[in-house]
Amino acid sequence: MSDPMCQLPSARALDDLEIELVEVARRTIDETTDAGPDEDGVHTMGAAVRTAAGLTFAGVNLYHFTGGPCAELVALGAARAAGAREITHIVAVGNHGRGVCSPCGRDRQVFLDYYPSMRVLVPLPGGEPVSVTARDLLPLAHVRPESPGAT
């Protein structure tokens, strides 16, 4: 248990619903990637979110040198556009079988600010994904008082 991710209080193995969410994200990027193996592309990551009502929404990244949106933020936006307000889970998956990928720092901050108790699926160093809360991804982070997730 020397892996820091295993030491997070909320870390646990994926449940069946989370495994299904990984599959939604994988299918999304497999069906939409514009990059061949070992090629760069605009759409190389897929993400999926689950709502408290059990609905799922997906998104893909839009790579741009200025910092285009990550797949996770696109999926969150799609969920909100459909009226979802309570997001319970999120995962990102790389194209060409790269599997579950960790969210970038910007995404982690967004998760903490808006959905601190949301479950985020992240890979351990060996590749095995686990489920943790967004709050655990940024320990000791500053939370703006005006953030919807501030407590």
Q: Which residues 6+ apart lie within 8 Å of 127 measured at CB?
A: 99
- The pair phi, psi for residue 135, each rounded to 5°, is -60, -40
**Token output for 127:** 């590749």
CA-wise closest residue to 115 among 79, 81, 82: 79
Helices (H) and strands (E) in the chain, counts: 4, 7
The string of DSSP letters for 12-53 reads EE--HHHHHHHHHHHHHHHHH----TT---S--EEEEEEETT
Q: Which residues fall within 8 angstroms of residue 39, CB to CB, at 6 or more apart?
A: none
Among residues 31, 72, 128, 146, which one is catalytic?
A: 72
Whether residue 72 lies in the annotated active site = yes
In angstroms, the CA 33 to CA 14 distance is 25
Residues designated catalytic: 72
